[in-house]
Amino acid sequence: MLKVVVDANVLVSAIFSPEGPVADVFFEAYGRLELLTPEFIREEMLAHAGRIAHERGTQVERIETAVNKMLDRMRTVPLEMIPKATRKQADALALDIDPKDVAYVALALSQEAVIWTLDRKLANGLARKDVRICIDTATMRNIVEHAR
């Protein structure tokens, strides 16, 4: 089964637009692909639940429920489970692009996975280094449609 690391921006997009294309692809992927994310994402997403709720004009509890529903469909991986050499490789690749993305790159490298991201800066920055592990939503939709 293909492994896909899901970037936080995908989750945020799906929460902001629960009927939108990102949310559709995310929920279609469940059971067809192995969805992964760094373990810290739960705390990160829940820490921003208040802001997201305010921007969406909804209750914090609804955002927390949506976050948990999505995270329940993914395998969260503690960063300490990623080999140190792989984390160092990810630092070398992504630290100058965006330090917040190093964990996603490390996870993808350690799991031989792709990264589903809406972050063009990350995708383009890695591509300039001949690392083509990022996919966009259109590519993810195509993969999901052909899975299983």
3-146 topology per CATH: Rossmann fold (3.40.50)
Q: Which residues contact 51 (CB under 8 A, 6 or more apart)?
A: none
43 burial level (CB within 10 Å; 0-12, 13-18, 19+) = exposed
Q: Where are the domains of the chain?
A: 3-146
Query: What average pLDDT does the chain have?
Result: 94
Per-residue pLDDT of 40-89, as tens digits, reads 998 888 888 888 889 888 899 999 999 999 999 999 999 999 999 999 99
Whether 134 shows a pLDDT value over 70: the answer reads: yes
Write down the residue that tokens 């280094």 correspond to: 129
